[in-house]
C-alpha cells in the first residue's frame, strides 16, 4: 500500500479498535481495515477531504420524492420523475432524494430485499444514474435492518453464509424493558431455523429484521453497497434509522458510542472515496440527542432538523411563536462543514419525539387533536411501563395547515406558504417533499387500501392529470406550485441564505416571528419576518434596527422602504424578506 495511505489506514484502524473494543473478532483490526480500504478502492484513487469544507451554498434545495410519486402508463416511473424534474423543477432544485428504490417487501421501500438492485417496477440503474447526472442524488442507506424476505435472512434460517450470523438475536427472558422502541409491535420475532427456534430483534416491524454490526462481515457488505451507490452516482447518503444501529443488553440500545464511531468510520471511508460525498443522519429522536450526530464535525455532514416540523406547525395553528423562538435561541450554529437539513413535511409524518422537552404535554395534546380534526392519523410507539405514546402525526402538510386550533378557515394557502417561507430562510439546507410542492392533500383512498397511517401522505400522481392541474390557472396545485417556485428562486440568489450564514432570533412578540441572517462575507443582511397569526399585525421598522445608511427592500413583495420610521401592516400569514440593496 502506498505511503500516502498510511494516515488513512491508521485512522480507519483507530475507528475499528473503538467499535470492536469489547468483541473478539475472527480477523485482526488491521486485516479488517485493509479489506475496507480495498473495497472502497482507496489504493487506486483516494481523495483527501478538506476539513470543514461546505459542500453546499444558498442555491442548494433538495426535493424529497418516491421513485413513483408521479407515474404514467407509457414509461418507467424513474423516467417520468426525471421528465417532471427537468420540465417543471430544474430552476428550483439542485438535488433530489429518491426514497428507497430497491426491491422491498413492506414499509414502502424500507424493508429492502436486495440493496444492490433497482426495483424493476421503477426502472434500472441507468435510470438512476441519468437523474444523478442532472441533479445531486441522495439515496437511502437502510442500514439498521433488511427485509425478512432477503437472501441474507433466508440464509440465516438455513444456516448458510452469507447471512447465518448477520442478525441480532436475544432471549425472551432477557431484560428488554429499557430498550427504546419506535413501534408498539413485540421487539422479538420468533423464527424457525435449522438450528432451532431463534428470536430475532426487530426494532420496527417483524418484516424488518435488525442487522448485527457486531459481526464485521455486515460492515464489509455495507461498504460494498456504499461503493456501488457511489459508482452509480449517489453523492448524499441518508443513514436511515441509524440511531438504533448497535445493540447492547442493559442499555436503551439507541445512540450508543459504537453507533457514533461507526458513523465516523463510514464518513472517513466515504469521503476519501468521493470528495463531495455527504452523510445525513435520519435520527427521529429528542433534539438534544439529535444534535450529537454532528460529532465534532466528523460524523454527519447534515442532521435532520426533526424538531422543526412539530414546532412550526404548532406555531401556525396556535398563532403563538413562543416555543419556536425558545427552540431557535437554544440551537447552536452548525460548524462549517456541517449543516442542518430543514424540512417540514416528509413521506413519514410529523414526529413528536423531537418535540419532547420543547412543547409541553398539553401543547402536544392540542396539536394532536387539531391534526385529527383536519383528517390526520396518529402512529404510536411503546413506552416504558407498558404504555403507548404518540410517535408521529400522519397528515399532508396542506391539510395540516388548513386552519387553526379554532378549526378550518380561509387562510390555508397563505398559512402553508408562510410555513415554507420560514423554512426556506432558516439556517440550513431546505428539503421539500414533492407533495408539498404540489399541495397534495390527504390520500384517504390509499390509506384505506394499505391500512397504514403513513399512506395518507404518499399519494401517487398520474403525470397527465398533474400536468393538467399545473396548467389550470384556478387550480390550488398550480397556485401553490408557482408560489413555492417563486420563493425558492428568490432564496437561491441570496448569500444571506447560505446554510451556514449567521442567524439571530428577533423578539417581536407572540404573533410576529422573525430572525436575522447575515452572509458569510457580511455584505448582505436579511430580516425575515412573519405574521404567524390570523390577525392583522403592525411592525415598526424602527423595531428591527435597520441601518439608516443602507436602502432596504422586501424581496417577496418588491416593496422599497424609503423611511425607517415607517410602520408596516402585515396581513395574516404574510412573510417579509427585508434586505439591504
| Crossing angle (nearest 10°) for helices 463-471 and 77-84 | 20
Q: Which residues pair with 538 in a beta bridge?
A: 569
Q: Are strands 403-404 and 407-408 parallel, antiparallel or unpaired?
A: antiparallel
Cell of 111: 424493508
Q: Which residues pair with 302 in a beta bridge?
A: 280, 339
Distance (Å, whole) CA 88 – CA 94: 13
H-helix or E-strand containing 577?
strand 575-580
Annotated binding-site residue? 107 = yes
Are 138 and 236 a contacting pair, CB within 8 Å?
Answer: yes
Closest CA to 200 of 247, 161, 232: 247
Distance (Å, whole) CA 414 – CA 421: 10
Annotated binding-site residue? 538 = no
Hey, what's the torsion of the CAs at 352, 170, 201, 140, to 10 degrees? Answer: 90
Q: Are strands 552-554 and 537-540 parallel, antiparallel or unpaired?
A: unpaired
The Cβ of residue 173 has, within 10 Å, a number of other Cβ atoms equal to 7
Closest CA to 561 of 574, 547, 572, 575: 547
| Residue for grid cell 400522519 | 394
Give just the sign of the alpha carbon dihedral 405, 409, 410, 416: positive
Annotated binding-site residue? 14 = no
Distance (Å, whole) CA 69 – CA 446: 13
Closest CA to 316 of 534, 556, 481: 534
Cell of 427: 439556517
User: If DSSP codes are grouped into helix, strand and coil, which group holds residue 126?
Assistant: helix
Annotated binding-site residue? 235 = no
Annotated binding-site residue? 177 = no
Annotated binding-site residue? 365 = no
240 tagged catalytic: yes
Are 109 and 65 a contacting pair, CB within 8 Å?
Answer: no
Annotated binding-site residue? 239 = yes
* Three-state SS annotation for 511-567: CEEEEEEECCCCCCEEEEEEECCCCCEEEEHHHHCCCCCCCEEECCCCCEECCCCCE
- Among 127, 207, 210, 240, the one annotated catalytic: 240
Annotated binding-site residue? 353 = no
Radius of gyration of the chain (CA): 24
Residues of the binding site: 107, 145, 238-240, 347-348, 454
* Residues flagged as binding site for substrate: 107, 145, 238-240, 347-348, 454
Q: Give catalytic residue positions.
A: 240
Amino acid at each position: 500500500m502506498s505511503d500516502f495511505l498510511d494516515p488513512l489506514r491508521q485512522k480507519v484502524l483507530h475507528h475499528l479498535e473503538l467499535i470492536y473494543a469489547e468483541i473478539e473478532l475472527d480477523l485482526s483490526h488491521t486485516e479488517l481495515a485493509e479489506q475496507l480500504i480495498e473495497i472502497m478502492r482507496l489504493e487506486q484513487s483516494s481523495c483527501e477531504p478538506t476539513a470543514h469544507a461546505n459542500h453546499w451554498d444558498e442555491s442548494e434545495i433538495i426535493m424529497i420524492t418516491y421513485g413513483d410519486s408521479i407515474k404514467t402508463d407509457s414509461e418507467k416511473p424513474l423516467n417520468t420523475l426525471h421528465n417532471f424534474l427537468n420540465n417543471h423543477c430544474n430552476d428550483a432544485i439542485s438535488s433530489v432524494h429518491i426514497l428507497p428504490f430497491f426491491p422491498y417487501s413492506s414499509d414502502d421501500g424500507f424493508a429492502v430485499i436486495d440493496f444492490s438492485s433497482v426495483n424493476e417496477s421503477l426502472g434500472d440503474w441507468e435510470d438512476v444514474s441519468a437523474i444523478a447526472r442532472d441533479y445531486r442524488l441522495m439515496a437511502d442507506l437502510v442500514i439498521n435492518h433488511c427485509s425478512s424476505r432477503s437472501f441474507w435472512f433466508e440464509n440465516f434460517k438455513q444456516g448458510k453464509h452469507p447471512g447465518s450470523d448477520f442478525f441480532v438475536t436475544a432471549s425472551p427472558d432477557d431484560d428488554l424493558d429499557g430498550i427504546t422502541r419506535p413501534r408498539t409491535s413485540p421487539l422479538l420475532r420468533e423464527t424457525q431455523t435449522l438450528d432451532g427456534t431463534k428470536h430475532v430483534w426487530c426494532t420496527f416491524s417483524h418484516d424488518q429484521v435488525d442487522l448485527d454490526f457486531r459481526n464485521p462481515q455486515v460492515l464489509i457488505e455495507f461498504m460494498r453497497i456504499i461503493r456501488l451507490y457511489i459508482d452509480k452516482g449517489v453523492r448524499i447518503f441518508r443513514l436511515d434509522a441509524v440511531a438504533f444501529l448497535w445493540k447492547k443488553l442493559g442499555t436503551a440500545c439507541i445512540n450508543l458510542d459504537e453507533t457514533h464511531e461507526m458513523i465516523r468510520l463510514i464518513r472517513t471511508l466515504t469521503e476519501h472515496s468521493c470528495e463531495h460525498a455527504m452523510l445525513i443522519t435520519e435520527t427521529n429522536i429528542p433534539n438534544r440527542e439529535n444534535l450529537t450526530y454532528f460529532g465534532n464535525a466528523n460524523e454527519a455532514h447534515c442532521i435532520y432538523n426533526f424538531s422543526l416540523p412539530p414546532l412550526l406547525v404548532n406555531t401556525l395553528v396556535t398563532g403563538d411563536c413562543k416555543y419556536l423562538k425558545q427552540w431557535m435561541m437554544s440551537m447552536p450554529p452548525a460548524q462549517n462543514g456541517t449543516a442542518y437539513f430543514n424540512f417540514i413535511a416528509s413521506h413519514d409524518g410529523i414526529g413528536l419525539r423531537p418535540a419532547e422537552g420543547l412543547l409541553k404535554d398539553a401543547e402536544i395534546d392540542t396539536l394532536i387533536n387539531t391534526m385529527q380534526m383536519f383528517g390526520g392519523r396518529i402512529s404510536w410507539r411503546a413506552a416504558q411501563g407498558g404504555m403507548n405514546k404518540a410517535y408521529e402525526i400522519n397528515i399532508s402538510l396542506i391539510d395540516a395547515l388548513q386552519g387553526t386550533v379554532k378549526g378550518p378557515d380561509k387562510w390555508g394557502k397563505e398559512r402553508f406558504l408562510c410555513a415554507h417561507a420560514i423554512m426556506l430562510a432558516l439556517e440550513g439546507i431546505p428539503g421539500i417533499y414533492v407533495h408539498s410542492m404540489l399541495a397534495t392533500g390527504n390520500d384517504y383512498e390509499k390509506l384505506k387500501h394499505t391500512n397504514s397511517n403513513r399512506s395518507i401522505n404518499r399519494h401517487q400522481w398520474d403525470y397527465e392529470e398533474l400536468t393538467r392541474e399545473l396548467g389550470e390557472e384556478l387550480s390550488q396545485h398550480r397556485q401553490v406550485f408557482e408560489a413555492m417556485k417563486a420563493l425558492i428562486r428568490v432564496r437561491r440568489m441570496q448569500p444571506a441564505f447560505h446554510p451556514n450564514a449567521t442567524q439571530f432570533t428577533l423578539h417581536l412578540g407572540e404573533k410576529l416571528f422573525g430572525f436575522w441572517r447575515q452572509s458569510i462575507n457580511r455584505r448582505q443582511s436579511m430580516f425575515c419576518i412573519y405574521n404567524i397569526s390570523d390577525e392583522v399585525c403592525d411592525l415598526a421598522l424602527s423595531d428591527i434596527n435597520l441601518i439608516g445608511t443602507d436602502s432596504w427592500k422586501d424581496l417577496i413583495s418588491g416593496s422599497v422602504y424609503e423611511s425607517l420610521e415607517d410602520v408596516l401592516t402585515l396581513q395574516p400569514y404574510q412573510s417579509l424578506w427585508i434586505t439591504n440593496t
